[in-house]
């Protein structure tokens, strides 16, 4: 954009210069953004399996319902956020998808459930969750995976022209946080309600806030 500075030329001169330099462009297609983010998630999942090992319990039926529900919700939130995110790279005036934020609300029920369990006095699992020795490891590993997915989303947004930077920041955090946590989460053999309900959800919330703060300056145009 600095190539054409309007300070020193009239509008007619600017239009003439822009027209003279016109070249065919390849359209920015939301589908390509979704493929890029999906591909990044697969790469991160493979890297996660390579680094921490494959947990066979996922396929043998050993995994608890909480594990399956949590990772299923992460997948749905990741898909909804990605769909909204790739569309947000194209300028538009019109209705905006609210599904990612409802999805995030649904996901928040899990830690809320753990807390209610804790307050009800019947929450041995919840106490275990709060004193979980693997809490930091799972949170950090999920955030590391999320960071790699976030790189793909930011690269995509920079190709486009997002006009609502704060929203794009939230969506980046939600998409990268949920997909990154999912990519790491499928290798984590800890499947209690308190563990997945707290430490596989916290990275999504943290990533969303980091996305809101860090992404807008990177995608401003």
Partner 1 sequence: MIADEPTLARLMMAAQEGDRAATNVLLSEVGLWLERYFRRRLPPHQIDDLVQDVLIAFYTKRATWDPSRAFLPWLAAIARYRWVDHLRKVYKHDGKELMEEDAVEDSEEEVVLARVSLDRLFRQLPQKQSEVIQLVKIGGLSISEAADKTGQSESLVKVNIHRGLKKLATLVEDAD
- Residue 140: count other Cβ atoms within 10 Å of its Cβ: 12
Q: How far is the CB of 146 from partner 1 (least distance, A)?
A: 24
State both tokens at 73: 């919700």
Q: How far is the CB of 98 from partner 1 (least distance, A)?
A: 12
H/E segment holding residue 85: helix 65-88
Q: How far is the CB of 214 from partner 1 (least distance, A)?
A: 17
- Distance, first Cα to last Cα, the chain: 9
Q: How far is Cα 116 from Cα 85, in angstroms, rounded to an integer?
A: 33
Nearer to partner 1, 92 or 122 (CB): 92
Nearer to partner 1, 57 or 91 (CB): 91
Task: Name residue, tokens 């943290």.
Answer: 206
Nearer to partner 1, 27 or 131 (CB): 27
Q: How far is the CB of 154 from partner 1 (least distance, A)?
A: 16
Which residues contact partner 1 (rule: CB under 8 A)?
Answer: 1, 4, 6, 11, 14-16, 18-20, 22-29, 89-96, 160-161, 163-167, 221
Nearer to partner 1, 1 or 59 (CB): 1
Nearer to partner 1, 36 or 43 (CB): 36
Secondary structure string (H, E, C) spanning 15-77: HHHHHHCCCCCCCCCHHHHHHHHHHHHHHHHHHHHHHHCCCCHHHHCCCCHHHHHHHHHHHHH
Q: How far is the CB of 11 from partner 1 (least distance, A)?
A: 6
């Amino acid at each position: 954009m600095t190539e054409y500075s309007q300070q020193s030329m009239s509008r007619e001169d600017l239009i003439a210069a822009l027209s003279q330099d016109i070249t065919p462009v390849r359209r920015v297609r939301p589908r390509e953004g979704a493929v890029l983010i999906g591909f990044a998630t697969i790469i991160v999942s493979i890297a996660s399996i390579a680094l921490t090992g494959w947990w066979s319990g996922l396929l043998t039926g050993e995994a608890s319902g909480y594990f399956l529900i949590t990772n299923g919700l992460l997948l749905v939130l990741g898909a909804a956020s990605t769909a909204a995110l790739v569309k947000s790279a194209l300028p538009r005036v019109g209705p905006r998808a609210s599904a990612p934020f409802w999805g995030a609300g649904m996901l928040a029920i899990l830690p809320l459930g753990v807390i209610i369990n804790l307050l009800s006095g019947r929450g041995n699992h919840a106490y275990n969750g709060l004193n979980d020795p693997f809490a930091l490891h799972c949170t950090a590993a999920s955030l590391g995976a999320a960071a790699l997915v976030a790189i793909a989303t930011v690269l995509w947004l920079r190709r486009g022209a997002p006009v609502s930077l704060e929203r794009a920041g939230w969506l980046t955090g939600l998409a990268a946080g949920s997909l990154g946590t999912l990519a790491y989460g499928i290798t984590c053999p800890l499947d209690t309600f308190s563990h997945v309900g707290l430490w596989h959800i916290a990275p999504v919330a943290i990533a969303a806030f980091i996305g809101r703060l860090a992404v807008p300056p990177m995608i401003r145009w």
